[in-house]
Amino acid sequence: SSGINAEYGGAHVCGDALDMDPMYYHVLTGSWRRDNALQVWDFDSGRLIKNVPLQSQTSTDKAVCHLYCAKWAGSEFIACGGSDSNTMRLIEKSSLQTVGMLDGLNRGCYTVDYTESAGPTPQIVCASGPNVFFMNLTN
């Protein structure tokens, strides 16, 4: 097709799990799969930059989360959510550590969004089944 500059394979995106960082031209993908579900790609080369772990390095949490949504949440965070473990996570970009989590949802987390308009910490909203959850990240 005209207008397509390149095509890259690797992610298995099944929802609102594709976002682009306007500052660094990094692409965030959330995949509906067991391993390496959250990944960061270089837009220009299409190369995988890193796999983002879905649990902290010190956690014993091994729950699988097939991702339906992933979004850059401002300049410091990544928000993502999915099914199986039915969680929404907020991950710090610099450390790749989970710094916030909404778990125990009755259904998967199917979409997530954020705003920084109220200050430097994001306000997060996510949807799970018929419910919409509103959260503020606090220190």
Question: pLDDT for 76-92, tens place per residue?
Answer: 899 999 998 899 999 99
Whole-model pTM? 0.86
Query: For 94-117, what is the mean pLDDT?
Result: 89
Q: How high is the mean pLDDT of the chain?
A: 85
Binned at pLDDT 50, 70 and 90, residue 2 comes out as low
Query: Per residue in 48-78, pLDDT tens?
Result: 999 999 875 555 555 678 999 999 988 889 9
SS (H, E, C) the chain: CCCCCCCCCCCCCCCECEEEECCCCEEEEECCCCCCCEEEEECCCCCEEEEECCCCCCCCCCCCEEEEEEEEECCCEEEEEEEECCCEEEEECCCCCEEEEECCCCCCCCEEEEECCCCCCCEEEEEECCEEEEEECCC
